[in-house]
Amino acid sequence: QKEVEQNSGPLSVPEGAIASLNCTYSDRGSQSFFWYRQYSGKSPELIMSIYSNGDKEDGRFTAQLNKASQYVSLLIRDSQPSDSATYLCAVGSGTASKLTFGTGTRLQVTL
């Protein structure tokens, strides 16, 4: 079983719709959770971090965390073509240490 699992996609959504990206993790001791966006040929760029159960909103992005279900998600409202990228879920222990990444979900926002 992979430590951090994501559906590889592609997830295709029309412009203006809500994109929902999901991630599950296996280590119950995980404390920190991150979503990175990676455009083709570029390095990962931090979108959101979340540490507590519930929702965290930042502009068009909402991260949701449910530690009991070992589940973290990212919602993108009013999706734009520029949101088309691979979204990486990363999980950490809550201290300065390595992050464990999923393989990413490729999002395609269509006109």
What is the nearest approach in angstroms of other proteins to the Cβ of residue 100?
7
What's the angle, vertex CA 107, arms to CA 102 and CA 111, rounded to 5? 175
What is the nearest approach in angstroms of other proteins to the Cβ of residue 30?
13
* Binding footprint of other proteins on the chain (CB under 8 A): 4, 32, 34, 36, 42-46, 49, 51, 88, 90, 92, 94-104
Contact of 30 with 92, CB cutoff 8 Å:
yes
CA 92 – CA 64 distance, rounded (Å): 16
By C-beta, is 79 or 85 nearer to other proteins? 85
Report the C-alpha dihedral over residues 11, 12, 16, 22, rounded to 10 degrees.
Answer: -10
- Other residues' Cβ atoms within 10 Å of the Cβ of residue 111: 6
By C-beta, is 37 or 83 nearer to other proteins? 37
By C-beta, is 63 or 102 nearer to other proteins? 102
What is the nearest approach in angstroms of other proteins to the Cβ of residue 20?
20
